[in-house]
Structure 1
Amino acid sequence: MAELREIRDFLDRELRIGDIPDYSGAVNGLQLENGGAVRKVMAAVDASLPVVLEAVESGADLLLVHHGLFWQGAQPIVGGHWRKLKAAIEGGLAVYSAHLPLDVHPQWGNNCLLAEAIGFKPDGTFLEWKGLPVGLTGGMEIRRDELAERLERAVGGAVHVCPGGPERVLKVGLCTGGAGSQVAEAAMAGVDAFITGEGPHWSYPLAEEMGINVFYAGHYATETFGVRKLAEVLGAGFGIEAGFIDHPTGL
């Protein structure tokens, strides 16, 4: 058994929760506490109603997520939102959320772990948001189709490719999640291939016009890496049971 406050303090410190800017709805850190004890932690991408119900059913005391309880902002506590909070509170389930702090973490982050999974060794950063570089860049000489194959193996599913750039890739930019709207910034950074999760429709024709390959590997699929790893870290470091709830959106 571990103390929730000790886990919270560890995560706050290691993820630099207080130092890294984020979207207002992220509300990084401990979002919901329990009675104070943690015997089992489960990780998931989203703190959705089905995920919370499964976490409670599994006997978890802590749910670690990338997109937290307040992602849609302030809202009435009615309907599904009420059922979700009610289930968590009655089930003694604490919820901890880490969005950008987990994306950019140099060891446990979505970006670095996806890069590792495809054999990409970044040597720089790009795509600044409020002074925070949220993407990784680096040299990687590889054929476009081979890069797509590596990505599909890494995320366990199909990757949609915009073949707007050269067939032989020399420089890669990577930013997991929904960074497709930043395709122009990626092109101006000089990358031949931009790997992300998803993007708006217009990002595809813009990529063609700017001469850059874009790999849309799935918002959900590219953001399973960090929470999975962090649950493993907590399990090993605090001597508690750890697991992952896979609830894909297909997006």
Structure 2
Amino acid sequence: MQRDVLVRWLDDYLKIREFKDPSLNGLQVEGKTEVRKIGVSVDAAQVIFDQAAEAQVDFLITHHGLFWGQPFAIVGYQKRRLERLFSAGISLYTAHLPLDAHPEVGNNAVLARELGLQGLEPFPHPRYGPIGFVGHFATAKPLAEVIDRIGELTGMQPLLHQGGPDEVRRVGVVSGGGAGDVGLANALGCDLYITGEPSHAHYHEPFELGLNVIFAGHYDSETFGVKALAARLEEEFGLPWVFLAHPTGL
């Protein structure tokens, strides 16, 4: 498949240009014109680029890219990263907020569906817009059961700050660094809020608001989107893909 055709399809499908995002979403590094194999990963880093080259990936899609709105010198490890991509002819495509927000293959939509949440509606982030989702269980579910399910999905033990009840029904989901949105989750009537990594600055809020918060890990809560997007590309274009894993523990 032609690289530029794939890029146009991704830009349209993910609505890349509709988001105010510090990330440079879209094609960040141009590689081979022909795409035969796709790699997907959470982060753009040397270890991922090495894995992609070894797996003979032509087109790499990451959630976190190389460029975040500020110029930097192409020296040291930044130079080595780009050299690896250029030498292997690998294109780098990044979808940050667009892959959090997408209603079909987004991190939050996929996690919400995997948990069995119904009636999904947008979680209106005050800065970035509707990048997460709020939904409900058909009947109240034990908090311990939700924690166990998240552990099954991520392969990691989530962190719980239990400020609320032992059974939950209305749930907000914002992957990654959503610890600062505990107050908004409470205002939206959630009795459980699921996000990625914790924050000391917001530690006390769940307990004082009477809200349960599960921290599923920044990395672990954001593997869902790239995998779902890769599966969608395989369905649409028949392109084989590989998930390049490198958990950060955060």
TM-score range, shorter chain: over 0.9
Matched residue type, 1:179: G
> 2:123 matched to 1:126?
yes
CA distance in 2, matches of 1:134, 1:233: 20
Q: Which amino acid aligns with 1:152?
A: G
Q: Point out where structure 2 has 5 or more consecutive residues left out of the alignment.
A: none
Question: TM-score, structure 2 length as denominator?
Answer: 0.95
**Residue in 2 aligned with 1:245?**
244
The separation in 2 between residues aligned to 1:123 and 1:56, in whole angstroms, is 38
2: distance between equivalents of 1:57 and 1:198? 31
Aligned to 1:7: 6
Q: CA deviation at 1:200?
A: 0.8
Contact 1:113 1:225 in 2 (8 A): yes
In the TM superposition, what whole-angstrom CA distance separates every residue of 1:36-83 from its partner, at most 9, and x where no partner exists? 111111000001110011101111111000000114832211111110
Structure 1 Cα separation of the partners of residues 45 and 80 of structure 2: 10
Q: Is residue 145 of structure 1 aligned with residue 144 of structure 2?
A: yes
Identity among equivalent positions (%) equals 39
Aligned partner letter, 1:210: L
Match for residue 195 of structure 1?
Answer: 194
Contact (CA 8 Å) 1:115, 1:122: kept in 2 or not? no
Q: Which moved more, 1:67-76 or 1:186-195?
A: 67-76
- Segments of structure 1 that go 5 or more residues without pairing to the other structure are none
Tell me the distance in 2 between the aligned counterparts of 1:184 and 1:116. 23
Report the Cα distance in structure 2 between the residues aligned to 1:75 and 1:239, rounded to whole angstroms.
37
Q: Counterpart of 1:95?
A: 92
Residue number in structure 2 paired with 1:205: 204
- The answer (yes or no) to whether the contact 1:164–1:210 under 8 Å persists in 2 is yes
In structure 1, distance between residues paired with 2:122 and 2:228: 22
**TM norm structure 1:** 0.95
Could you say what secondary structure the match of 2:19 adopts? coil
Alignment equivalent of 1:50, drawn from 26, 42, 47: 47
- Shifted more, 128-137 versus 143-152: the winner is 128-137
Question: Paired residue for 1:161?
Answer: 160
- Cα pair 2:19 2:128 within 8 Å, conserved: no
Question: How many residues matched?
Answer: 248
- Return the offset for 1:130: 4.0
CA–CA distance in 2 between the matches of 1:76 and 1:163? Answer: 44
Matches within 5 A, 1:30-41: 30-41=27-38
